[in-house]
Amino acid sequence: MATGEEPPEPSATERLQVALRHLEMSAAFKGEKVASREMRKHLAWYIRGLRGSARMREVINSASSVDSLRQAITRYLADLSAPC
């Protein structure tokens, strides 16, 4: 901020790693049931503009537990990291 330059946008990997941490912290603070429901909207924001995000939103919205959300995000991260 001292230079007045904007930092670069976070990569997809960075965004999803933060999303996973947010999910874990939310589950620890609010409990699994509340966290799994509330995190759906937050996870949609984390993946906004990424390749395949529309399909991923469907997966997120059908997830019923923190574990299923964690698995979905981990798979999505692996898919994004794989060469096209």
Q: What angle do CA 8, 9, 10 make, to 5 degrees?
A: 115
Domain ranges of the chain: 12-81
Provide the pLDDT for residue 1. Answer: 66
The pLDDT of residue 84: 64
How many residues can be counted in the chain? 84
pLDDT mean over 18-42: 96
**The CATH homologous superfamily of the domain defined by 12-81:** Putative flavin oxidoreducatase; domain 2 (1.10.1200.80)
For 4, list phi and psi in degrees, rounded to 5.
Answer: 85, 0
Mean pLDDT of the chain: 93
- Could you say which DSSP state residue 82 is in? S
